[in-house]
Chain A
Amino acid sequence: MTSKKYDMVIINGRVIDPALGFGKEADVFIKDGKIVKIENRNPKTEKEIKTCSEDQIVDAKDKIVVPGLIDVHVHLREPGREDAETIASGCKAAAAGGFTSVCCMPNTMPRIDNQETVKFVQDRAKVADARVYVVGAITKNIEGKELSEIGDLVKMGCVAITDDGHYVQNPEIMRRALEYAKMFDIPVMQHAEDLNLCGGGVMNESFESTRLGLKGAPAAAEEVAVRRDITLTRMVGGRLHVQHVSCKGAVDAIREAKATGLNITAEACPHHLILTDEEIGKEFNTNLRVNPPLRTITDRQAVIEGLVDGTIDCIASDHAPHSEESKDCEFDLAPPGMIGLETTVGLIKTFMIDKGYLNWADAIRMMSYNPAKILNLPGGSLAEGSDADITIIDPDKKWTVKADRFRSKSKNSPFVGMKLNGQVYKTILGGRVVFEQ
């Protein structure tokens, strides 16, 4: 006899939910795409589990069961560059990486600066393997000149605004964006790099750029940009979210600002936590070209410290697919960016948890609870009654990153060939298994 009481029960897993404080073995009961209850095994649940058929049971023995991961910084490339990624393929990659929700950036072609394009993305996302939250453009056509119709964008469902890929160089426009967005209580996400100071740099300015004769973008270009925005936020209020923090100066600036009670948030990317600019000279691998660039060991350490002490609130992949052709070229001619959805969990486990910087509860908070809080999204917790968006991770599974295993349409990862510890086992979206190993 098959139980009608539950559609799925995840048994024997270690449930980690920073919001609920779980950290022990428990069973998760799911019905109609919602979480019904999470309980430690007891005679009652023992009986309930027994009445379930085999295909209703997900055995998560030796695995950890966490709220579906949320990535606040993802490029899905559709519309415009469907050769690099589509909403469908990007969401498959998200599912394979354990992400049940992603926030997509507006620098598509056309830009997501109007209701029609938001609607287009949302329609495509309806049948995808992850929830897609649209981030609209701060300025029309991401030109940094005039504000987009932000009210329209929010009405359509945009959860934040950003000109990602470009810094809003004009401080007056940024001031108005922060002020205007206050009406809708959405964050203004900033790609912080002063364009004049960057000077067309294609890597970090350091002895590495000196040695290689490649144009360097100084870390100060990021710090100056972050400090300006902090000053503007102090003046007009609003919610500043600093994207992909990569250098010590920016971490320090954010820490100081938070200490004064300013309402700002920040994200860090796995590649800035793990790689440095010294990798580039080895093979001029164009997959290491990224904005902001890979920095020095000092910067890398500062970003890790920022993550550990809470200066940085969340981990985001900045998943940036580029076609193989566009990356198969001279280093300085390659477009910046690397994919990240499918490697984030393995990288964070291997380089942050195994090295003792974070524990699982920290990591899950930074990849689920905090992202949901920053963007006012549902999810981020396994609370009873919430959508059954659940990620099951095999914490000690050893695997090698392989280009031909990516679900993403693009393969531009500098981590290909790397051995990682910790892998996504199953991803469940609204009670439906969207990925299994």
Chain B
Amino acid sequence: MGKLSSRHLLGLENVPKEDISLILETSNSFREVLERQVKKVPTLRGITVLNLFYEPSTRTRISFELAEKRLSADTINFSTSTSSVKKGESLRDTVQNIEAMKIDMTVVRHSSSGAPYFLTQCMDSNIINAGDGAHEHPTQGLLDMYTIWKKYGKLDGLRVVLVGDIKHSRVIRSNIWGLKTMGASVALCGPSTLLPAEVEKFGCDVYTNLDEALDGADVVNVMRIQLERQQSGMFPSQREYTNLFGISKERLKLLNKNYTVMHPGPMNRGVEITSEVADSDNSVILDQVTNGQAVRMAVLYLLSGRKEDAE
């Protein structure tokens, strides 16, 4: 088995194609484990993983924790509500204290972009970014890519449309970098107020008209729209957002025949996506969740393998 070029996973920007291919292929082996009656392997026995969550998260935290347990790692969970952070302890002191208990790997979710990079400067542990601010969410990007790759057998040459709040979405950033590296053609679509500055520099096609964006695409990955954005004046009403950017069955006619609908969750049914679409045969939304297990197991395994004392 090959090795990754870095001992951390901070984002997908600048991650080489070979690394992404290795993660996707390794995920396949773990995906198979998930179909067994005993869904557990001894791969990370003796390794301790810290799940450091500075931002509320249910599914990502559960997904990582389950992936760690299925690899036989020991896990500890840390979240702000139960920590000394509220008492004013710095991030550096917090992680150095926990690491002093002998931690091998750290999964971090934080509202500040760059916090995972900061941890690489404070700890010896491998760092896995589970979402930092609006920066990156690399394992979500990888699991989205794995899901597409598994269905089509390739990423190269596919047309993927990412719809929603481009400005604030870390999922979109990780998808952009990863998909582009793997040779997919990426389109972005959202209200012009939610397109970030100089968005064209990502090197993607950018649309504010959903129909134009969907025309001839293979995959549409729909992002959750947060109600706060409406309140901060980014669009006039949820109703208007749905009219302009909501994914309904009618609009999917523009996609290629064997199209795929994705959503990283949690979904606002009836807002950015109709139930009819979310529950249709072309929807892989629950597959994404299952595949997330396999991808996170692969990432944990591959990064741990970099440690000299790992068996």
Q: Hey, which chain B residues are within 8 Å of A213, CB to CB?
A: 113, 132-136, 168, 170, 173
When A284-B117, A328-B90 are in contact, do A210 and B199 touch as well, CB less than 8 Å?
yes
Chain A 322-337 against B: per-residue CB contact (8 Å), 1 yes, 0 no?
0001001111110000
9 interchain residue pairs of minimum CB distance: A213-B134, A284-B114, A330-B112, A213-B135, A207-B198, A210-B196, A207-B201, A213-B113, A205-B197
Beyond A207-B201, A211-B13, whether A325 also contacts B117 by CB under 8 A is no
- The residues of A that contact B115 with a CB separation of less than 8 Å are 330
- Decide if A106 is an interface residue (CB 8 Å cutoff): no
Let me know if B91 and A283 touch, CB within 8 A: no
CA distance A329 to B132 in the complex (A): 14
- Out of A207, A284, A329, A331, which one reaches B197, CB within 8 Å? A207
User: Is A212 an interface position by the 8 A CB rule?
Assistant: yes
Whether A206 and B113, one on each chain, are in contact in the complex, defined by CB atoms closer than 8 angstroms, is no
Interface string of B19-52 (1 = CB under 8 A from A): 0000000000000000000000000000000000
A214 — nearest CB in chain B belongs to which residue?
A: B113
Cβ distance B105 to chain A, nearest Cβ, rounded Å:
21
- CA of A328 to CA of B198, assembled, Å: 30
B92 in the interface (beta carbon within 8 A) = yes
B: number of interface residues (CB 8 Å):
26
B110 interface hit (Cβ, 8 Å)? yes
Give complex CA distance A328, B96 in Å. Answer: 13
B78 within 8 Å of A (CB atoms): no
Residues of B within 8 A of A328 (CB): 90, 92
- Whether A422 is near chain B, meaning CB under 8 Å from some CB there, is no
When the two chains form their complex, are residues A209 and B197 in contact, meaning their CB atoms are under 8 A apart? yes
A216 within 8 A of B: yes
State how many angstroms separate the Cβ of A416 from the closest Cβ of chain B: 15
Report whether A214 and B197 are in contact in the complex, using a CB–CB cutoff of 8 Å: no
Q: Residues of A contacting B196 with CB < 8 Å? A: 209-210, 216
Across the interface, which residues of A come within 8 angstroms of B90, CB to CB? 325, 328-329
Most buried by A among B13, B133, B167: B133
**A144 contacts the other chain (CB 8 A):** no
Closest A residue by C-beta to B114: A284
Docked-complex contact A212 and B135, CB < 8 angstroms:
yes
Q: Which of B132, B170, B197 contacts A206 (CB 8 A)?
A: B197
Give B58-92 as 1s and 0s: 1 = Cβ < 8 Å from A's Cβ atoms.
00000000000000000000000000000000111
Q: CB-CB contacts of B133-151 with A at 8 A, as 1s and 0s?
A: 1111000000000000000
B152 at the interface (CB under 8 A from A): no
Which of chain A's residues have a CB closer than 8 A to the CB of B118? 284, 329-331
* 21 A-B pairs whose Cβ atoms sit less than 8 Å apart in the complex: A205-B197, A206-B197, A206-B198, A207-B201, A211-B201, A213-B113, A213-B134, A213-B135, A213-B173, A214-B114, A214-B133, A216-B196, A218-B197, A283-B117, A284-B113, A328-B92, A329-B92, A329-B118, A330-B91, A330-B118, A332-B114
A189-221 vs B, CB cutoff 8 Å, 1 = contact: the mask equals 000000000000000011101111110101000
Residues of A within 8 A of B136 (CB): 213
* Contact between chains at A332 and B133 (CB < 8 Å): yes
Chain B contact residues, CB within 8 Å of chain A? 13, 90-92, 110, 112-115, 117-118, 132-136, 167-168, 170, 173, 196-199, 201-202
Bound complex: CA A210 to CA B200 (Å): 10
In angstroms, how far is the closest chain B Cβ from the Cβ of A263?
35
Query: Bound state CA distance, A330 and B92, in angstroms?
Result: 9
Q: A210-B196, A218-B197, A333-B112 are in contact. List 20 more A-B contacts (CB 8 A).
A: A205-B197, A206-B197, A207-B197, A209-B197, A210-B167, A210-B197, A210-B201, A213-B135, A213-B168, A213-B173, A214-B113, A214-B114, A284-B114, A328-B90, A329-B91, A329-B92, A330-B112, A330-B114, A331-B113, A331-B114
How far, in angstroms, from A207 to B91 measured CA to CA in the complex? 28
When each residue 312-345 of chain A gets 1 if its CB lies under 8 Å from chain B and 0 otherwise, what string results?
0000000000000100111111000000000000
A325→B88 CA distance, assembly (Å): 12
Q: Which A residues form the contact surface with B (CB < 8 A)?
A: 205-207, 209-214, 216, 218, 283-284, 325, 328-333
Task: Name the residue of chain A whose CB is nearest to the CB of B133.
Answer: A213
Chain A residues contacting B168 (CB-CB under 8 Å) are 213
Q: Nearest chain-A residue to B135 (Cβ)?
A: A213
Residues of B within 8 A of A210 (CB): 167, 196-199, 201-202
Q: Cα distance A211–B13 when bound, in Å?
A: 9
Q: How far is the CA of A210 from the CA of B90 in the complex (A)?
A: 27
B287 CB, nearest partner CB in chain A, Å: 27
Closest CB of chain B to A427's CB: distance in Å?
36
Once bound together, how far apart are the Cα atoms of A207 and B134, in whole Å?
13
B135 to chain A, nearest CB (A): 4
- Closest partner residue, chain A, to B132 (CB atom): A213
Q: Which residues of A contact B197 (CB under 8 A)?
A: 205-207, 209-210, 216, 218
Q: Chain B CB within 10 Å — which of A205, A210, A325 has the most?
A: A210
Residue of B nearest to A285 (CB): B114
Give B86 Cβ to nearest chain A Cβ, in Å: 14
Cα A214 to Cα B170 with chains together (Å): 11
Known: A325-B90, A329-B90, A330-B91. A212 touches B199 (CB 8 A): no
A330 with B110: CB separation less than 8 A:
yes
What residue in chain A is nearest B196 (Cβ atoms)?
A210
Q: How far is the CA of A283 from the CA of B202 in the complex (A)?
A: 20
Closest residue of chain A to B166 (Cβ to Cβ) is A210
User: In the complex, what distance in Å separates the CA atom of A106 from the CA atom of B119?
Assistant: 36
Report the separation of the CA atoms of residues A21 and B114 in the bound assembly, to the nearest whole angstrom.
51
Alpha-carbon distance between A325 and B92 when the two chains are bound, in angstroms: 10
Candidate in A207, A211, A328, A333 with the most chain B CB atoms within 10 angstroms = A211
For A333, what are the chain B residues with a Cβ–Cβ distance below 8 Å? Answer: 112
Question: Which residues of the other chain, B, contact A332 by a CB distance below 8 angstroms?
Answer: 112-114, 133
Q: How far is the CB of B60 from chain A (nearest CB, A)?
A: 16
Q: Which of B114, B199, B201 has the most CB of A within 10 A?
A: B114
**Cα distance A299–B115 when bound, in Å?**
28
State in angstroms the CA–CA spacing of A283 and B114 once bound together.
Answer: 8
- Most-contacted residue by chain B among A206, A284, A328, A329 (CB, 10 A): A284
* Chain B residues, Cβ within 8 Å of A209: 196-197
Inter-chain contact A331/B201, CB cutoff 8 Å: no
Q: In the bound complex, how far is the Cα of B113 from the Cα of A330, in angstroms?
A: 8
Q: Within 8 Å CB of A206, what residues of B?
A: 197-198
Q: Determine how close the nearest CB of chain B comes to the CB of A249; give it in whole angstroms.
A: 15
> Whose C-beta in chain B lies nearest to the C-beta of A199?
B232
By beta carbon, the residue of chain A nearest B112 is: A330
Alpha-carbon distance A219/B268, docked complex (angstroms): 35
Chain B residues within an 8 Å CB radius of A283: 117
Are A214 and B135 also in contact (CB < 8 A) when A325-B90, A330-B112 are? yes
